Amino acid sequence: MPMLRGRPAVTHTRTRTHTHMSSVSGSSSAAGPREVELVLVKEQNGVQFTSSSLRNPGAHSHTHTHTHTHPSGQQRETWGKKIDFLLSVIGFAVDLANVWRFPYLCYKNGGGAFLVPYLLFMVIAGMPLFYMELALGQYNREGAAGVWKICPIFKGVGFTVILISLYVGSYYNVIIAWALFYLFSSFSGELPWIHCNNTWNSPNCSDPNATLLNDTYKTTPALEYFERGVLHVHESSGIDDLGAPRWQLTACLAVVIVVLYFSLWKGVKTSGKVVWITATMPYVVLTVLLLRGVTLPGAIDGIKAYLSVDFLRLYDAQVWIEAATQICFSLGVGFGVLIAFSSYNKFSNNCYRDAIITSSINSLTSFFSGFVIFSFLGYMSQKHNVALDKVATDGPGLVFIIYPEAIATLPGSSVWAVIFFIMLLTLGIDSAMGGMESVITGLIDEFKFLHKHRELFTLFIVVSTFLISLICVTNGGIYVFTLLDHFAAGTSILFGVLIEAIGIAWFYGVDRFSDDIEEMIGQRPGLYWRLCWKFVSPCFLLFMVVVSFATFNPPKYGSYYFPTWATMVGWCLSISSMIMVPLYAFYKFCSLPGSFCDKLAYAITPETDHHLVERGEVRQFTLHHWLVV
């Protein structure tokens, strides 16, 4: 147990250490003096213990810390600097969706009025869940699966989030590969998406200077470059006609994988340095693009449309649902990344302050990027003399079709294109690093023998994702990409966070969780946070899970509707991660000894308290445990 801000450890800390030691050494009389010895060591060196044991009771007492040392005897590394951790969390949470999703949602759902439900859900669900994951990882110092020693029956949810991160990683890298392809294409005297005289263009291609957006049959060179020049969708009839991987995109994907590997292979010591570039670069570029954007004709109209307040839209349930969904996915809760990152923190790090800072920066970035996007969209709508809603879109189409087209009309367009795609690369790469780190830390902490082979295991994980990603760079790869995007992290991630919140707030107990936080940062979470963890956030998440089922739409890409078998495959993918929760719970329950009540008691009691179960003291079997906040 840690010293609270340099003060001697509190009494309950000593008793817990005492019981643990006596159970190890086998004689409580011998444990007494040694326990005092340990406390002295703590007070002299400020070493922080999460639990202590004696290895060699006969000889000199040998302390074994879980805080900087792992149960396997390996040192638990920590971040080089505090800022490495903050930049990693910000870099992970701020991703491409902040640029291509939030501004469009804001514009579509009543402009400034959309901020009302967005900020409400941020405060009652986003921030509390963000704080909960950071505290959980930092206290238990394990990855997404290992932290569930606090309530063993829920360990399946750790495997759920690790699987989801693996699925998402396998297609997220493809977006970064597209950005890299565009970046290489931008190093040319004339950008390749300006004219219709390229080998990939169709007869429907029309010069962008014509008022083409009114004509349904005409397409822009930028659209054709993305779909025909980069993806080669026209060479595939659908998801059942994929073809071989395109070598250009495969090469870009390989570069992305190599960068990911060398960012992650040494753990947080390397990734913590990479984020100095990848997490800060987008802000520099967004600022430069904004300064350029606001000088364009029509830019102010675009920004006005982005911010125009229409409170009547708040009567529409869909607006609230979209705000809630955006909060759930934009903060990156439920991927196991925040748990993995914070597990490398120093034990006494103020995770409360970190949660507030990083989640606020994430939302401010989304809002800020809206000005950058809509200044250019306003310019496009004036240039083509069409309504703004004709050019406003979201998703990959915004950053790979509309924005490049706007950039192509500027003087020095190649330079602007290079700057823009560097921003997309840096936005993507640190989010991909976070997802991979969640998988690597989660599995390494669960299967201790992997600790010695971190570099090999990291190689295995990134190569595996590369091989899966190859399906997404075929001619019909965009269909696989759309399917994965639709199912890999939709309902399943909401379900994962719901189970996580229930496991911590109800089974482990909000009061116990608050004790842990007080032990780390010296102050107990306020009543507001405890109420959110116990009631508000679980209800919010349950509502979101129900809504995601109720509003389910089958996936489609443009005018292509997926066959029924593809949708079934998608659901199987979604269920494959969720099923880990009941499967592991069933396995855990069956593997425990004793009667039904004994099994249940062991399954829902923290592993450190199993000696209490033997004495028949099970907190979860008392009414007080369930009622206390």
Q: 72-128: per-residue pLDDT in tens?
A: 444 688 999 999 999 999 999 999 999 989 999 999 898 889 999 999 999 999 999
Q: How far apart are CA 390 and CA 399, in angstroms?
A: 15
- φ, ψ dihedrals at 560, nearest 5°: -90, 125
418 contact partners, CB below 8 Å, separation of at least 6: 183, 186, 187
Amino acid at 140: N
Q: How far apart are CA 205 and CA 54, in angstroms?
A: 75
3-class SS of residue 211: coil
- φ, ψ dihedrals at 241, nearest 5°: -140, 80
Q: How far apart are CA 319 and CA 387, in angstroms?
A: 22
pLDDT of residue 295: 95
Domain boundary assignment for the chain: 88-208+217-591, 596-628
pLDDT of residue 215: 58
3-class SS of residue 573: helix
In 3D, which of 14, 35, 168 has the Cα closest to residue 481?
A: 168
How far CA 93 is from CA of 98, 136, 150, 408, 434, in Å, comes to: 9, 18, 26, 30, 9
For residue 531 the two structure tokens come to 């109420």
**Alpha carbon 457 to its chain's center:** 21
Q: Is 427 annotated as a binding residue?
A: yes
- φ, ψ dihedrals at 62, nearest 5°: -115, 115
CB-CB contact of 264 with 192 (8 Å): no
Beta bridge partners, 69, equal 75
For residue 174 the two structure tokens come to 């493809």
Of 3.30.70, 1.10.357, 1.10.10, 1.20.1740, the CATH number of 88-208+217-591 is 1.20.1740
- φ, ψ dihedrals at 240, nearest 5°: -90, 10
204 CB-contact burial (10 Å; exposed 0-12 / middle 13-18 / buried 19+): middle
Beta strands in 283-357 (DSSP E): none
Helices (H) and strands (E) in the chain, counts: 31, 2
- Region class of 595: left (phi > 0), else alpha (psi between -120 and 50), else beta: beta
Interhelix angle 268-278/413-446, rounded to 10 degrees, is 160
Q: How far apart are CA 587 and CA 604, in angstroms?
A: 14
Q: How far apart are CA 445 and CA 343, in angstroms?
A: 10
Query: Secondary structure of 102-125 in the HEC alphabet?
Result: HHHHHHHCCHHHHHHHHHHHHHHH
3-class SS of residue 199: coil
Count other Cβ atoms within 10 Å, centred on residue 547.
17
Q: Is 98 annotated as a binding residue?
A: yes
Query: Secondary structure of 484-505 in the HEC alphabet?
Result: HHHHCCCHHHHHHHHHHHHHHH
pLDDT of residue 68: 53
For residue 540 the two structure tokens come to 């919010």
Q: Is 330 annotated as a binding residue?
A: yes
pLDDT of residue 394: 86
Q: Is 212 annotated as a binding residue?
A: no
3-class SS of residue 203: coil
Q: How far apart are CA 412 and CA 186, in angstroms?
A: 11
For residue 179 the two structure tokens come to 């950005």
Q: Is 259 annotated as a binding residue?
A: no
CB-CB contact of 483 with 557 (8 Å): no
CB-CB contact of 374 with 303 (8 Å): yes
Q: Which stretches in the chain have pLDDT values below 70?
A: 1-75, 209-217
Rounded to two decimals, the pTM is 0.86
Q: How far apart are CA 231 and CA 161, in angstroms?
A: 30
Q: Is 381 annotated as a binding residue?
A: no
Long-range contacts of 601-607 (CB under 8 A, 24+ apart): 602/152, 603/152, 603/153, 604/151, 604/152, 604/153, 604/507, 605/151, 606/149, 606/150, 606/151, 606/508, 607/149, 607/150, 607/152
**Alpha carbon 420 to its chain's center:** 23
Determine the Cα angle at 541 with ends 540 and 545, to 5°.
120
User: Half-sphere exposure of residue 517, counting CA atoms within 13 Å on the CB side?
Assistant: 24
309 contact partners, CB below 8 Å, separation of at least 6: 110, 111, 112, 113
Q: How far apart are CA 455 and CA 452, in angstroms?
A: 8
CB-CB contact of 264 with 271 (8 Å): yes
Both ends of the chain: CA-CA distance in Å? 23
Determine the Cα angle at 430 with ends 429 and 436, to 5°.
90
Beta bridge partners, 560, equal 557
Place of tokens 């109209």: 301
CB-CB contact of 14 with 532 (8 Å): no
CB-CB contact of 348 with 2 (8 Å): yes
CB-CB contact of 302 with 387 (8 Å): no
CB-CB contact of 230 with 250 (8 Å): no
In 3D, which of 401, 467, 474 has the Cα closest to residue 237?
A: 474
Is residue 561 within a helix (H) or strand (E), and if so which, with residue range?
Answer: strand 560-561
